[in-house]
Amino acid sequence: IQLLTPIAPMLAHPIHSLEQVAKIMTTDNGRSQPMTMEWKYDGVRCQGHFDGTTMKLFSRHMLETTYQYPDAAQAILDARRNGQVKSFIIDAEIVGVEEGGEDGQDYRLLPFQDLSRRKKKNDNGQGVRVKVFCFDLMYLDGISYIHESLHVRQAIMRECFRETIDFAHVSSQLLSTYDESKICTFLEQAVEKGAEGLMLKLLGSWNIQEGPESSEDKVPALLDNDDQASTSITTTTTTV
């Protein structure tokens, strides 16, 4: 792992039923594997790197996008807790938002189509305002955390980055055992607030892929509702 060099991301593939989610959560000996449920945002994947001097953003295709979202890069830097974070690699989603309320803390998530209207270059946020939703941390202050569990990585992420008007931690909920009612309720909440669906992730470690198409250590999946594509569940499972 190297700062300012993008890591091949975990990607999602489709599944077609909640029964498949139950199967993924069940081990060969019948024991249940806990998962975390996260909102699936309708935005742009963003891997943020900072080496103490230079801040860079990379897309899911590992292309640099710092020039396209300078306001997102600044939002990530501003979210660092004072004196705690000198260098890092995080995984996040850049989402278009429409603010509301007098303090701007209330906002509505915008669809990707709105975000795509931003200029290709030199957009300082005067067009569509963006908010960064962070869901993983792989590196911090000289230490790689890719072999730590997702639970540990997210705990460190929340400890070292604070929520601001332009930066937030992913909305999530722990799923200790398969619970269809709990999944559907959280999914309804996500979609109602403008999210695309849910991400379900096993609490394993991050295994670096040889490339974006390699999924030997991961079984990511997407569950679509036949009538409404926005009502979906994406599961990203990792092995320790």
Q: Is 40 a catalytic residue?
A: yes
Give the tokens for residue 212: 């974006």
Catalytically annotated residue among 40, 56, 201, 218: 40
Report the interhelical angle of 180-192 vs 18-25 (nearest 10°).
120
CA–CA separation, 228 and 239 (whole Å): 31
Instruction: Determine whether 80 is exposed, middle or buried from the number of CB atoms within 10 Å of its CB (0-12, 13-18, 19+).
Output: middle
Nearest to 89, CA basis, from 193, 181, 9, 30: 9
122: left (phi over 0), alpha (psi -120 to 50) or beta: left
With contact defined as beta carbons under 8 Å apart, do 94 and 72 qualify? Answer: yes
Token reading at 163: 């929520």
Q: Which of 194, 199, 191 is nearest to 222 (CA)?
A: 199
- Closest among 56, 39, 125 to 90, alpha carbons compared: 56
Catalytic machinery residues = 40
